[in-house]
């Protein structure tokens, strides 16, 4: 045999020499959950090792991450039920929990890159990403609220705003609003292909943001569809998105590759709560090797074409020395 592929696998030095894809701390974004209060740090029961932080402890967590080379964070608020209403009014209200968190992180750690989530569901009494009328999610009426949220985030110091709502036209609406108000340098990371997935359960537990009635299938994508993601991506690109995101990650590696192969914008992948929870459960039961399974998972996103990976594993892989900053 003239060709023996195993010759290129015979030693660690050669394997490293020809490795096609690499993972670094620069590829990782760490999602963090925020709650009201002081000295609060409570573990999410369905996500071992992941906590909800009051702002004082959030600052300590961000600092500890920066010290090990993790520099990008996506913030998510757990809002008290009494503050929620049909129009998510508190979402853009001055001095709310989320805006205070953004301001405090940027004030104390200007070098940190802060990604913010734009969607109504954490603040909505209906638990949906848009205004609900007679069981229907209103698209165009929702855009005004999303725009107010995005503008408030920019004013608070957000570096990247990530609309996760899946309303049609929201990228163009938000881009124009930000530009008009002088925030041309604030980036948009669009949840381009966000599927109506079964893997969001632990996240909704963490935020207490599940729909009170119905589901999200009229605005999130059908898991059976792939070409539909091309339509969403084309629209987002034309409307001014700076990043295209695929969510969830592991069941949709083909979608990550599809967007990577067809668009020149950076592709982000969200390694979601359900993926994290099932991997941690298998590890705790001794069914999987912790380091190998987590690192293989993260590398699969890079291989598929993602340059940014939102993952709850971000801190531990650096803290445990599995990945060098």
Q: Is 216 a catalytic residue?
A: no
Phi-psi region of 321 (alpha: psi -120 to 50; beta: other; left: phi over 0): left
Residue 135 confidence class, pLDDT cut points 50, 70, 90: confident
Phi-psi region of 214 (alpha: psi -120 to 50; beta: other; left: phi over 0): left
Q: What is the DSSP letter of 222?
A: P
Question: pLDDT tens-digit profile of 31-51?
Answer: 999 999 999 999 999 999 999
Residue of 216, 247, 280, 315 with catalytic role: 247
Is the pLDDT at 201 greater than 70? The verdict is yes
Q: What is the DSSP letter of 124?
A: B
- pLDDT for the residue numbered 207: 66
Which range (37-46, 126-135, 309-318) has the least confidence? 126-135
Enumerate domains of the chain plus CATH numbers: 23-319 (3.20.20.70)
Once rounded to an integer, what is the mean pLDDT over residues 284-308?
98
Q: Is 107 a catalytic residue?
A: no
Question: Can you give the pTM of this predicted structure?
Answer: 0.95
Question: pLDDT tens-digit profile of 186-195?
Answer: 999 999 999 9
Residues paired with 42 in a beta bridge: 52
Q: Could you give the 3-state DSSP secondary structure of residue 163?
A: strand
Residue of 71, 194, 280, 315 with catalytic role: 194
- pLDDT for the residue numbered 214: 73
Which run of H or E residues covers position 116? strand 113-118
Question: pLDDT tens-digit profile of 64-81?
Answer: 999 999 999 999 999 999
Is the pLDDT at 146 greater than 70? The verdict is yes
Residue among 189, 209, 192, 188 nearest 273 (CA): 209
Residue among 83, 77, 91, 75 nearest 32 (CA): 75
């Amino acid at each position: 045999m003239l060709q023996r592929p195993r010759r290129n696998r015979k030693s660690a030095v050669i394997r490293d020499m020809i490795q096609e894809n690499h993972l670094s701390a620069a590829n990782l974004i760490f999602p963090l959950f925020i709650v009201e209060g002081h000295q609060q740090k409570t573990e999410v029961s369905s996500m071992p090792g992941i906590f909800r932080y009051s702002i004082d402890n959030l600052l300590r967590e961000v600092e500890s991450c920066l010290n090990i080379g993790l520099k990008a964070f996506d913030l998510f608020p757990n809002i008290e039920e009494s503050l929620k209403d049909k129009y998510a009014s508190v979402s853009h209200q001055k001095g709310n929990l989320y805006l205070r968190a953004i301001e405090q992180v940027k004030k104390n750690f200007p070098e940190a890159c802060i990604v913010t989530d734009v969607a109504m569901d954490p603040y909505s009494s209906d638990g949906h990403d848009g205004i609900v009328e007679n069981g229907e999610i209103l698209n165009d009426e929702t855009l005004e609220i999303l725009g107010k949220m995005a503008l408030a985030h920019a004013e608070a110091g957000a570096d990247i705003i990530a609309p996760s709502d899946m309303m049609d036209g929201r990228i163009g609406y938000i881009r124009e609003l930000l530009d008009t108000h002088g925030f041309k340098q604030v980036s948009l990371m669009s949840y381009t292909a966000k599927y109506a997935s079964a893997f969001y359960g632990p996240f909704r537990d963490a935020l207490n943001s599940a729909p009170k009635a119905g589901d999200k299938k009229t605005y999130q994508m059908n898991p059976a569809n792939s070409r539909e993601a091309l339509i969403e991506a084309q629209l987002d690109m034309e409307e001014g998105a700076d990043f295209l995101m695929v969510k969830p990650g592991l069941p949709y590696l083909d979608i990550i590759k599809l967007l990577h192969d067809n668009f020149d914008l950076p592709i982000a992948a969200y390694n979601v709560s359900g993926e994290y929870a099932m991997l941690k459960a298998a590890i705790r039961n001794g069914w999987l090797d912790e380091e190998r399974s987590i690192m293989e998972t993260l590398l699969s996103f890079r291989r598929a074409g993602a340059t940014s990976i939102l993952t709850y594993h971000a801190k531990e892989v650096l803290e445990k020395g599995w990945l060098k900053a």
